[in-house]
Structure 1
């Protein structure tokens, strides 16, 4: 696409102003997909690959690591933009360090495999397994907070801290990208973060409501019809 076409596409999309203050996404996924149809075939392909790597729910910790490593390697090799390759590396590093925190909290020893995860930090993490925060607290300023929340099983705080870290990284990149394919990618990733947070908020609200109902009903709950 030309710069003019990127300009037209991006100016047609509603502004995403905030993450945690958002109640709903500023545009539906259906409408967003319609706007993104203006991209070329290759751009859509690369956009989908990056979204799969970056999207919160598509890189779960129980995913097949070998398959994800293979997919990440292929995706990164196909993406020509250095900005986007660096973003992919950053997100995969983030996933790796969070997975390492969980392993360490569970009492596991340093991974023995030569390539036990993905991104650029897995070997560094293995060498620094017994060092606080794997000596990565300066590269990832959010890491001490996430480690503390993890120790106290504060899942909501972990979610917020990680979402905010990604949001801030996208903000940092967006100051250099205005009307380009990179800017389109950033918009979609921001949309995904808002969708994840608003969905997560709804899930929390439902769980809290169920708990309140159970607490209020007490022993009478068992007498209710199922």
Structure 2
């Protein structure tokens, strides 16, 4: 049973998401929060598996709240999915670098939203297709280096770099396993080692590293996303 913390300052949206999660098989509501401060507090006390977080919150932003949640000592860390109204939200890239595991538009159909929550709880990443394109466009338009040095990939083995490259292209564990002709268990091991060696908290951060390190060249082809 995967537990979900729902964070949105609009009571109707928050209540609707909570009702949807409660009615779904294999999911339960860990709590509801209207502010970033409440989200940080509830995440520490309830230790949810997934946090559905509005990217734009009054006071402490969704991104700031996520950073606080992921920096807390509690283990394992929850997976944070950012909810946004706009597919071209200016905060998407910042949230990616901060550790968001995925993004969903608030008008996502209920069945897809629930499938996304389950996918995230299992360790995959998820982006709305338009947000994925936004991510690639962000890299293509970048004229200044990102804050801080690009991550070094020297600690990774050749196979781990292959896995990171495929994560950067948007492939799921199953797709990576088929591409490399290995078992899903082997892929999960490689993914965990990549995240650990690079001190990353999510696959989404791995996507950022794959581009910022030059492992994937800008303009080198469209990302291959999971099947819908």
Normalised TM-score (structure 1): 0.27
Q: Give the structure with the larger strand fraction.
A: 2
Normalised TM-score (structure 2): 0.27
Structure with the greater relative contact order (CA < 8 A, sep ≥ 6): 1 or 2?
Answer: 1
Larger Rg: 1
